[in-house]
Structure 1
Amino acid sequence: MIGKVPKPGKSFGGCIEYNVLKKDAAVLYADGVRIDKVAHTIDDFNMQRKMNPSLGQAVGHIALSWSPNDKGKLDDEKMVEIAKEYLQKMKIQDTQVLMVRHKDKEHPHLHIVYNRVNNQGKTITDKFQHYNNLKFSKQLTLKYGMYMAKGKEQVNRPQLKGIDKLKYELHDTIKAAIKKVNNITELKKELAKQGIDTYFKFRSGTSEIQGISFGKGKYKFKGSEIDRSLSYSKITQAIQQNVQQRESEQVQHKQFVSDLKAAVQSQTSAFPQRQSTGGKSLLEVLLTPEYIEPMPYIYDTDERKKKRKKAKSDL
């Protein structure tokens, strides 16, 4: 399950009309609002928001999506059950809620509209929502035995928007840069070329790096918030492994060249000179990628039969 949490909005009318009037939309659950008419639903939300008129962005909107692999496990009742538990964990309680299921995509998904002005007129905070959303979405996915994709490979990136889109762009760019560099300083320089800022968190009173964050434009995220593999310790570990792998490959290549050179030197006198080497040594020719030893063309069995059959027919 994945939760998408856009910024709070100002218009209940626009949000509710988008969700309820969409083709094949189905209202699965409502608390504190009438659902006999769209106009009544909007009026009920707006009536409660007047209890806290200073809160301009009172419209809460969250989309919960599941993998197409979970279709067989999800009916309307189960989706509402999971959504209610999600709201409880997110501390979105004691307020008006509307849950609407859409069927315009291959994957099951549910839209939640809620009033950030609760039933007592107090504001429901939106602080740390993105972090909590990731945390609780994963918890509920595991609890209900839903499909858990490995990493970010199967995410439909063209469908992403806003902060989610930016996080995946940062993820892909940072992952690619890690493969090129030899240390964390080089990583910072490489990312700077692509407009990404790198920030380090140091242990109090020391120069020891304890954490890492990345920023682009006005947004800044901890590495682990983008992906668990992008914490400072995981990044430094990945860089070290890449460096060791490159060094190992270089050693293997040098050994290969050395062994080939020794073999060529020992066989030079017996090796027939079939073609001009253009002034290059035999070793240089063998190490040229384009070098291909000429091979006689051999007809396969079927082709030889066809040739004989044709020859007989021409007689």
Structure 2
Amino acid sequence: MIGKIPKPGKSFGGCIQYNVLKKEAAILYADGVRIDKIAHTIDDFNMQRKMNPGLGQAVGHIALSWSPSDSDKLNDEKMVSIAKEYLQKMKIQDTQVLMVRHKDKEHPHVHIVYNRVDNEGKSIPDNFQHLKNVKISKELTLKYGMHIGQGKEKVNRQQLKGIDKLKYELHDTIKSVSQKVSSMAELKQELLKQGIGMQFKYKSGTLEKQGISFSKGKYKFKGSEIDRSLSYGKLSKQIEQQQKQVIEQRLSLGQQLREVINKQPGKEQSNHLSFNPFGHLPVITPEPDKPYRRKKKKGQDQDQDQSRGINY
């Protein structure tokens, strides 16, 4: 099971109409709202929203999806039961909730619409929601023995359409190119050659990078929206590690060359080989010159000795 949390919405009307009016959509559960008419459902959500008018984005929306392999294990009641447990662990409680099942995809999935203004007029926090979602989704998947996905590499690309297809194309290209570069600047240049733009998000008023996004055509996505491994933090860390490995490999190769040269025979000879880092050939290191002595002329020593009073 995986949970997908879209960007917070501002309109209950648009969110509810999208979920309820979809072909073959079925309302599985409702708490605190009427479901006889869509207009009544929207009015009920908006009425409670007015209890906290300062909360601009009061619309909560989460989609829970299971693998097609889990279809035989799931019925409407089971999906509702797991969704309720999910909301409880996410600390989304004591508020209006609507659960709608869609059948437009091969995999089972249910959409949850909830009011971020609870029954007492207090705001339901959404900080760290994405991190909690990943943890709780995995926890419930293991608890109920559901299928665990094998990553994007196992997804059948041929069945993808529209935005999903584009996201996977971006994922595959960025992952491939990022493994061959040594800096973020080089990554940006190489992606541009393939028609993919890369933009950084900076901390307000500074040059400190804190986010990254990718674009192709009229579409633009955050790196983490494409895949968690493509967030700025994880992507820059990956490239730094690759650069470090290259440097370590070069240093290791240099050390091996020095060891080979030091083991060459004749190293102790007067004319020995030394390693020249700027060429392919060894250079000859000559012996130091001996002190120069002037050669004396024949009979010079005898004349000098006589001058000192020495007789033979």
TM bucket (normalised to shorter chain) is 0.5 to 0.7
Matches of 2:68 and 2:226, distance apart in 1: 27
Residue matched to 2:37: 37
Correspondences of 1:1-315 after superposition (within 5 Å): 1-155=1-155, 158-159=160-161, 161=163, 168=168, 171-181=171-181, 186-187=186-187, 190=190, 194-196=196-198, 214-216=212-214, 226-227=228-229, 230=234, 240=245
Gaps of at least 5 residues in structure 1 are: 200-210, 245-315
Pair 1:43–1:168, CA change in 2 (3 A): same
Q: What's the TM-score, normalizing by structure 2? A: 0.60
Distance 1:146 1:172, change over 3 A: same
**Corresponding residue of 1:272:** none
Contact 1:32 1:97 in 2 (8 A): yes
Paired position in structure 1 for 2:310: none
Kept after mapping to 2: 8 A contact 1:48/1:117: yes
For the 8 Å contact 1:10–1:57, the answer to whether it is kept is: yes
Task: Judge conservation of contact 2:184–2:236 (CA < 8 Å) in 1.
Answer: no
The worse-fitting range, judged by mean Cα deviation, of 64-73 and 187-196 is 187-196
**Structure 1 pair 121–171 and aligned structure 2 pair: CA distance change class (3 A):** same
The offset of 1:99, in angstroms, is 0.5
Aligned-pair identity in percent equals 69
Q: Please identify the structure whose Cα radius of gyration is greater.
A: 2
Displacement of 1:167 in angstroms is 6.8
Deviations 1:87-136, CA, capped at 9 Å, x for gaps:
12322221100111112221111011101111111222333333332332
Query: AA paired with 1:64?
Result: L
Shift of 1:137: 2.2
Does the 8 Å CA contact 1:171/1:226 hold for their aligned counterparts? no
TM-score, normalised on structure 1?
Answer: 0.60
CA distance in 2 between counterparts of 1:124 and 1:223 reads 23
What is the RMSD of the two structures over their aligned residues, measured on CA atoms?
A: 3.8
CA drift at 1:37: 2.8
Kept after mapping to 2: 8 A contact 1:30/1:97: yes
Q: CA deviation at 1:168?
A: 5.0
> How many residues align structurally?
232
- Partner SS, residue 153 of structure 2: coil
In the alignment, what sits opposite 1:286?
none
Q: Give 1:119's aligned amino acid.
A: N
Q: 1:62, CA displacement in angstroms?
A: 1.3
Q: Deviations over 1:168-215 (max 9, x none)?
A: 56643332113423677755764576433579xxxxxxxxxxx99644
3-state DSSP class of the match of 1:63?
A: strand
Q: Secondary structure at the match of 2:28?
A: strand
